[in-house]
Chains A and B, each alone.
Chain A
Amino acid sequence: MRLDRHAGPALLAALVAAVAFVWVTPFLWTLVAAFRHESAGSAGMASLLPDFTPTLANFRLALESGEFGLYYVNTIIVVVGVLGVQLVTISLAGYAFARLEFPGRDVLFYVFLVQLMLVPAVLIVPNLRTTVDLGLYDTLAGVMAPYFASAFGTFLMRQTFRGIPRDFEEAAAIDGAPWWAIVWHVLLPMARPGLIAFAIVSVTAHWNEFLWPLMVINDPANHTLTIGLATFTKGAEGAKEWGVLAAGTLLVMAPLAVVFVAFQRRFVDSFVFSGIKG
């Protein structure tokens, strides 16, 4: 009886630890392989044991063969550009849905809702034509444009604004503050948790995006990290440079990973918040 009570949880913990180990293995390998000397050769490349003195040679090779500096800059431009415009559009639309009464509000709400189902990813073909028509083909602006309006962000802001008591705004309105002053000075500061949650989800999504930039971008000078990594993978794969491949992949994953580890709670809460509270 006593044995049972202790054996159960211990067994579960061991099982959980084993699964977690399997899950983390690809990343462990990346870390080990990225710092391994090339002389270790291809045969032992898969070993997870860091039985060597670490080297930065793979990173040097990766940085030489791919223009990661450029990719970082382009990716940051895209991510910041998308988020900047989104924050404006979703705050305005979210305020309208949360606080104003106007004819057609419910219909318009459904008009927004449809974007949640028609994920831009499936519309790459017509969106590419639109991007060409707008003269945005092969520009970073073309990569960003489809995401400037966000139904998801609008809902998030609507919910967040609705959670803020009206007393604050009414006090400001009595003092004669116009609507934009109320939004800027009263609502947005109180909506910070919602804004941060949206920012985390948006930045992660666009940092990681691949297929759409691949369609829009042609000029290597406009490549983002994910496109760069895909090209780079092809090269490393041909040359069987697994250590360099690991180092390159690590370079692409590292910034988000570092931010995630630093603000873990925020990240997890944001992803749950974005899904559950909508």
Chain B
Amino acid sequence: MTVDAIITADVLDVPSSPVRTVRRRRFASWRLAYMLLLPSLLGLAAFTYLPVLRVAIDALHVTPHGAGGATRFVGLENFARVLGDAAFRQAALNNLIYAVGTVGPSVVLALLFALAVRRSTRFNAVVRTILFFPSLVPLVAAASLFFFIFLPGVGLLDYYLAKLGVSGPNWIGDTDVALWSIVGLTVWKNAGYYMLFYIAGLQNVPRDHIEAATVDGANAMQRLWYVILPALRPTTAFVITIALIHMLTAVDHVVVLTKGGPSNATNLLLFYIFQEAHENFDTGKAAAATVISVAVLLLVSLGSLRGMEAGSRREA
């Protein structure tokens, strides 16, 4: 969840606040500054910057698995192999469906939840806790629980559906359904987390704007659409960003529940990378797929960064 660190409007405008410094102490001050930053910079270099460089280089080479294999330069061959791999194309397509299918409902539900429980009553406090709680448990634990929930016949879902006279599909065994079951699990897990940001955002919507709209005869729907939603635009931009990043960085449930199956129906990019690296020991392919994934991640981040800047300007 370090993802949550994502840039907020606050961080974006790097304030150049005038720091009072005595001129002759300036040299000592900047030597000290670099000394203090050194531990963090070493960590960032070793596990953020160099890895990006390294994976880009690895993507251009092939190292045969096992002893004695010599690494050789192969140009873009790894990329060609990855893009030519039906499993990769499937994973990329799945990831897109998964992202759209999860982010949309999660964000809408988060907003509705926040609107429903924003007032601090005892009842609402309990409901908030319940809705938020899934985001605290490990994704692996959620997957373990859903393994039983999705179990054909005797599982929680089928058991209660049967009482209603409905017979469910094979939730994680049917190629047409499995990805949507993963989507459902993820919506359940994340919506309450995004709700928190909407609750906080709602507190910043000016009361008098809503009241003015009410006086002008706007009904609840109109107030939501013309007053509340526009005011929440920065929150929405932020929530969509972290939600999209979650889509590319969390596959624990796929590892535990489906292993990408049946027949790649639930394979996602990061799981594909994990498989190539950890199970097929194809470092070239894993590296090339990582480069592609990093590129997508940067596009998402930069795109929403611009969206957020635009959003905060509009509010200013």
Contacts and interface: CB of A to CB of B under 8 A. Distances in A.
Interface of B: 1-8, 10-11, 14, 16-17, 19, 21, 26, 29-30, 32-34, 36-37, 39-44, 46-52, 54-55, 58, 113, 116-117, 123, 126-134, 136-149, 154-156, 158-160, 188, 192-193, 196-197, 199-200, 238, 242, 245, 248-252, 255-256, 270, 273-274, 277-278, 283, 286-287, 290, 293-294, 297-298, 301-302
Contacts of A96: 32-33, 36-37
A186 interface: no
B252 A211 contact: yes
Contacts of A149: 39-44, 47
Contacts of B147: 233, 237, 245
Contact of B251 (A42, A47, A211, A242): A211
6 contacts: A23-B192, A26-B188, A92-B37, A128-B277, A268-B132, A275-B196
B290 A125 contact: yes
Interface string A246-257: 101100110011
A233 B149 CA distance: 13
Contacts, number: 314
Given A17-B127, A249-B141, A124 B159 contact: no
Given A118-B297, A123-B48, A233 B256 contact: yes
Given A117-B298, A119-B3, A149-B47, A101 B250 contact: no
A205 B2 contact: yes
- Among A101, A155, A274, the most chain B Cβ lie within 10 Å of the Cβ of A101
A29 B136 CA distance: 17
Contact count band on A = 35 or more
Contacts of B160: 46
A101 B30 contact: yes
Contacts of A154: 40
A278 B5 contact: yes
Contact of A126 (B32, B52, B138, B252): B52
A106 B11 CA distance: 12
A174 interface: no
B43 A278 contact: no
Nearest to B193: A271
B55 A272 contact: no
Given A100-B32, A253-B141, A47 B5 contact: no
Contacts of A122: 248-249, 270, 273, 290, 293-294, 297
A130 B188 contact: no
Interface string A122-165: 11111111100000000000000111111110111001001000
A231 B210 CA distance: 53
A27 B40 contact: no
A130 B43 CA distance: 12
Contacts of B192: 23
Contacts of A47: 159
A11 B200 CA distance: 25
